[in-house]
A and B are shown apart, each in its own frame.
Chain A
Amino acid sequence: MAVNLFYFLVFPGLLFAAVVGAFLSWFDRKITARVQFRKGPPLLQPFYDFFKLLLVKETILPKHGSPLIFLLAPVFAVFGATMAGVFILLPLLNITTGFRGDLLVIFYLLTIPSFSYIIGALASGNPLAAVGGSREMKLIFSYELTFLLLIAGIIMKCGQQFDLYTIIKAQQEGSPFIGSISGVLLFIVGIFCIQAKLALVPFDMPEAEAEITEGIFIEYSGAAYAMIKLTKYIMFFILPAFLIALLMNGFRLDGIHILWAVLKVLAVVLVITLIRNTNPRVKIKQAIKFFVLWMNLLAVIALVLIEFGY
């Protein structure tokens, strides 16, 4: 019991994932600044933002809407992200959970933050938040099948194994899955799915800043917005970590391999950041077409290639 609580609250769970995610979020902002020839924020900027929102600012409740659900939604989002983080990070750090079939649980837990955002946005009673919520729903519909196909590809590659620990072990004993043609295709699909799940720039229509002024988060302020920031930090770490676990060998925690683990996370985040900085925001129709048609096609091609052993 105590060990489980420690797992959930401190080491691979809430505290660790949030701190690492905050540093990754700083890395993302710094790279963005360097791409635009700016200097960028200081290292502890995400912590300043979080503690300012949590401790200093006032939380305003919507007059028209449901205050209780409005306040509970960010808490659910943190909870879902942390649960998914524990399930992803334990096998990644070579601690077996003994739970066969955790891939599907992770798949469902990873959607909880998005659903919580939608519920919170619709509970705020703001029309722009409703527009953002409906866009987030459409985005979930479009990328979820692609994400499932990615996971199906990994399961096929590993010989019908449904747990993350076995998949990582199979890669560490053999070769990483990204070293084949189908693996590269699945990696491309995975990167775009992460981009949509994090709502970063080509797919940031739910929270389009200039267009619908932060969309789903428009009514959040103070501590409630701090919880949303916390969820974003956690998701910014665990989604690249999930992709590394599925395709790039996971982490090894002995000697020089720790450096490799850090570099792998930074490389995936760098790819995400560069995509975010070199693309405009697409319309929701274009995003649906991109996922339903092109990314699904790519994923199916990868599945066929896996079937033939490439």
Chain B
Amino acid sequence: MGFKNYCFKKSLWVFHFGGASCNNCDIEILDCLTPRHDLERFGILLVGSIRHADVLLVNGSINIRDKERLIEVYNQAPKPILVVAIGACGCTGGLFTDSYTFAGPVDKIIPVNAYVPGCPPKPEAIIAGIIKLVLNA
């Protein structure tokens, strides 16, 4: 189990699911992959297909239309998959908690492994969240 788990931790491929986001979190997520922060040194890559993903990053408030798509994407992912909720909207709903289109924070829809709060969280905070995820995985 140790070897498998070690390989899994060392090579997390990330699929990015943007809900009804204001794009701030998207920009900060992309910032993690740029030269300054460079998450590829931990083996983290952004992949285009959910079939290749090990981590599902969810940001933005999840509204009624996003909900079924999020569930579909989660079901299409090969297990084991880790889910990370990014930003205030992903973690709790933030500003949009009382909105009539809001369908609940991410952890009401799918199981979540890590939360990175902030509006938007800094790249350092995202990296700290990922390190915690790796250490607990």
Instruction: State the A residues within 8 Å of B (CB).
Output: 29, 33, 36-42, 44-45, 47-49, 51-52, 55-60, 209-210, 213-214, 217-222, 225
Contact between chains at B41 and A41 (CB < 8 Å): yes
Contacts of B4 in A (CB 8 A): 51-52, 55-56
Give Cα A33–Cα B33 distance, bound, in whole angstroms: 11
- 13 residue pairs of the A-B complex, CB under 8 angstroms, read A36-B35, A40-B40, A40-B41, A47-B7, A48-B7, A52-B4, A52-B54, A55-B4, A57-B80, A210-B48, A213-B48, A217-B49, A220-B51
Contacts of B52 in A (CB 8 A): 214, 217, 220-221, 225
Contacts of A222 in B (CB 8 A): 78
Contacts of B23 in A (CB 8 A): none
Contact A219/B51 with A56-B80, A58-B78, A59-B78 known, Cβ cut-off 8 Å: yes
Q: Which residues of B, 1-55, contact A by the 8 Å Cβ criterion? A: 3-8, 10-11, 35, 38, 40-41, 43, 47-49, 51-52, 54
Contacts of A44 in B (CB 8 A): 10
Q: Which residues of B, 54-104, contact A by the 8 Å Cβ criterion? A: 54, 76, 78-80
User: Which of A38, A213, A221 is the one whose CB lies under 8 Å from B38?
Assistant: A38
Contact A41/B40 with A56-B4, A56-B8, A221-B51 known, Cβ cut-off 8 Å: yes
Contact between chains at A48 and B35 (CB < 8 Å): no
CB distance from B41 to the nearest CB of A (A): 5
Contact A60/B78 with A38-B38, A214-B47, A218-B51 known, Cβ cut-off 8 Å: yes
Q: How many positions in chain B have a CB within 8 Å of any CB in the partner chain?
A: 23
Given contacts A209-B48, A219-B51, 11 further A-B contacts (CB under 8 A): A38-B41, A45-B10, A48-B43, A49-B43, A51-B4, A56-B4, A209-B47, A214-B48, A214-B52, A222-B78, A225-B52
CB distance from B75 to the nearest CB of A (A): 10
CB distance from B44 to the nearest CB of A (A): 9
Give Cα A47–Cα B11 distance, bound, in whole angstroms: 9
User: Which of B3, B5, B43, B51 is the one whose CB lies under 8 Å from A41?
Assistant: B43
Contacts of A49 in B (CB 8 A): 11, 43
Among B5, B40, B41, max chain A CB count under 10 A is at B40
Contact A57/B78 with A33-B38, A33-B40, A214-B49 known, Cβ cut-off 8 Å: yes
Give Cα A225–Cα B54 distance, bound, in whole angstroms: 13
Among B5, B43, B76, B80, max chain A CB count under 10 A is at B43
CB distance from A123 to the nearest CB of B (A): 15
Contact between chains at B11 and A48 (CB < 8 Å): yes
Contacts of A218 in B (CB 8 A): 48-49, 51
Question: Which residue of chain B lies nearest to A54 when distances are taken between CB atoms in the complex?
Answer: B7
Contact A60/B35 with A33-B40, A41-B43, A45-B11 known, Cβ cut-off 8 Å: no
Contacts of A219 in B (CB 8 A): 49, 51
Contacts of A48 in B (CB 8 A): 6-7, 10-11, 43
Question: Which residue of chain A lies nearest to B76 when distances are taken between CB atoms in the complex?
Answer: A60
Give Cα A51–Cα B79 distance, bound, in whole angstroms: 15
Give Cα A160–Cα B41 distance, bound, in whole angstroms: 49
Contact A45/B43 with A52-B8, A222-B78 known, Cβ cut-off 8 Å: yes
Contacts of B49 in A (CB 8 A): 213-214, 217-219
Contact between chains at B78 and A221 (CB < 8 Å): yes
Give Cα A217–Cα B6 distance, bound, in whole angstroms: 25
Contact A57/B54 with A33-B38, A39-B38, A42-B43 known, Cβ cut-off 8 Å: yes
Contacts of A29 in B (CB 8 A): 40
Contacts of A45 in B (CB 8 A): 10-11, 43
Contacts of B78 in A (CB 8 A): 57-60, 221-222
Give Cα A124–Cα B76 distance, bound, in whole angstroms: 14
Contact between chains at A52 and B48 (CB < 8 Å): no
Question: Which residue of chain A lies nearest to B38 when distances are taken between CB atoms in the complex?
Answer: A38
Give Cα A240–Cα B4 distance, bound, in whole angstroms: 32
Contacts of B38 in A (CB 8 A): 33, 38-40
Contacts of A52 in B (CB 8 A): 4, 7-8, 10-11, 54
